[in-house]
Amino acid sequence: MVVVFVLVAVAVLALLAGVHRYLWRRLIGDTTLPGSLARRAGTVAAFVLPLLSVGALVSSRSGFPFALQQVLAWPGYLWLAALLYLTLALLAGEAVRPLLRRFLARKDGAAGAESEERAVAAVAASDAGSGSTRTDTTPRAEAPAAPAVADPSRRLFVARAVGGAAALAGLGTVANGTYGVLRGPSTKRITVPLAGLPRSAHGFRIAVVSDIHLGPILGRAHTQRIVDAINATSPDLVAVVGDLVDGSVADLGPAAEPLARLESRHGSYFVTGNHEYFSGAAEWVDHVRELGLHPLENARVEISGFDLAGVNDVAGESEGQGPDFARALGDRDRSRASVLLAHQPVVIDEAVEYGVGLQLSGHTHGGQLWPGNLLAGFANPTVAGYERYGDTQLYVSRGAGAWGPPVRVGAPSDITVVQLASHQA
C-alpha cells in the first residue's frame, strides 16, 4: 500500500512538473528574449508559485500557525486554479498556432507578389517613356521583391499572440470565478412533493446550505453574507449539511459566530461533513450547539408534519462515528413523511432502504471548477440538483463556499429553499 502511495505521489509530482514546464515554455520561453527582465521574472514566478501552492496545501494539514496559512492560501490556491485554466487555454491555442502561422505566411507571400508586380510595371513604364525597343535577348535585372517577414519574427509574433490570448482567457476565467465566490451564493427555490406530508405542512420551507468551508480565505464576512441571504428567505427551518469548516475551533470559531443569528420558525440543524473530521468534529459539534444550531448525530426529531433525521458523514467511520441509519431511522413510523440530512449523496442507497422521502446533501460543489463536474460524476450518483431514486428523492446543493481555490467555474454557489408540498393540498 505504501509503495502504491509513493508511486502515485511521484506520478502526480511529475505531471505537475511537466505542466509547469509547458507553461513556462509557451508563456515565457517562446515570448521573451534571452536575458530580458521579463524572462527572468517569469522564470522566478515559475518556481515560486508552485512552491506557494504546495505550502498552502501542506500548511492546512500540518498545524501551521493560522496567520501563516492565511498568507500562503491566497496566492497558493489561486495559482492552482490559474494553472488549470492557463493550461486548458494554451492547449486550445495549439490548434490555432499553425493556422495563424499559415495565415501570416500567405499574407507575406501575397505582399511579396504584389511588390514584384509593381516593380515590373515600373520597368515597363520606364521603357515606354524612353521610346526604346528591346531587341536583344539579354535579361534585364529584375527589381528586388519586398523582403518577407523573417521566420523568427513570425514565430515570436505568433507565440505572443497565442500566449497573450491564453493568459487573458485563463486569468480572466479565474478572476470571474473568484468574484462569484466572494460575492456570495445565489438563492434557488424548488418545490418537492413529499409522500405522507399532511396538508398542515404544505409549503414548509427548508433553507439548505452546505459546504461553506470557512478557512484561511473565507471567514466571518463570508458567513455573514450567507446568514443574511438565508434570513432574507424567512425559512421555516435551516439545514446546514456539512463541510462548514476547514480548520479548528480555535482558529475559526469567531468566523462561525454569525450563525448564531440564523432565523427560522423551527430552528437550525447541522450534520457533519468529511471536512469536519479533518478539523476536530467533536469540538465543532459542541461549538455549533453553543451557537444555537441542533446537531443531528445519527438522530431524528419530529417536526410539524414530518420526521427530520441526520446522519454523520462517512468520513467519521475512521473515528467510529460514521453514519448509523438504523439508529437514526430504524424505529420510525414509515407512514410519516421524512427528510434526511446527509452530507454525501453516495448514501442514497441506504436512504432508499430505510424509506426516506427526501435526502438533502452537498459535498460535490457541483464540480466547482469545470471540468471537475465530469470527475465528480464518477464518484457521486448526483452531482447537483434534483433526482429520484425509486420512491426516494435526492437534492444535492452545489454549496455556498469553495474548497482550495476560492474560485468557481461552471458551478456557481447557492443556497436552496426547498418547499415541501403535500399530495393532499
What is the structure's pLDDT at 345? Answer: 98
Residue 342 DSSP SS3 = coil
Cα–Cα distances (Å) from 351 to 198, 292, 342, 358, in that order, read 21, 27, 9, 8
pLDDT per residue as tens digits for the range 154-187: 889 999 999 999 999 999 999 999 999 999 999 9
Residue 309 DSSP SS3 = strand
Over residues 99-122, mean pLDDT:
70
Residue appearing with cell numbers 470559531: 253
pLDDT per residue as tens digits for the range 258-295: 999 999 999 999 999 999 999 999 999 999 999 999 99
Q: Is the predicted pLDDT of residue 150 greater than 80, yes or no?
A: no
CA–CA gap between residue 198 and residue 336 (Å, rounded): 9
Q: In terms of Cα–Cα distance, which of 325, 322, 365 is closest to 349?
A: 325
What is the structure's pLDDT at 74? Answer: 96
Q: In terms of Cα–Cα distance, which of 272, 224, 208 is closest to 245?
A: 272
Over residues 394-408, mean pLDDT:
97
CB atoms within 10 A of CB 2: 6
Rounded to two decimals, what is the model's pTM?
0.88
What is the structure's pLDDT at 321? Answer: 93
- Asked whether the beta carbons of 267 and 259 are under 8 A apart, the reply is no
CA–CA gap between residue 136 and residue 164 (Å, rounded): 57
- Quick one: which H or E segment has residue 376? helix 372-379
Mean pLDDT over the full length of the chain? 91
Q: In the chain, how long is the greatest CA-to-CA distance?
A: 116
N-terminal to C-terminal alpha carbon distance within the chain: 57
pLDDT per residue as tens digits for the range 327-372: 999 999 999 999 999 999 999 999 999 999 999 999 999 999 999 9
Q: Is the predicted pLDDT of residue 147 greater than 50, yes or no?
A: no
Q: Is the predicted pLDDT of residue 142 greater than 70, yes or no?
A: no
Q: Is the predicted pLDDT of residue 319 greater than 70, yes or no?
A: yes
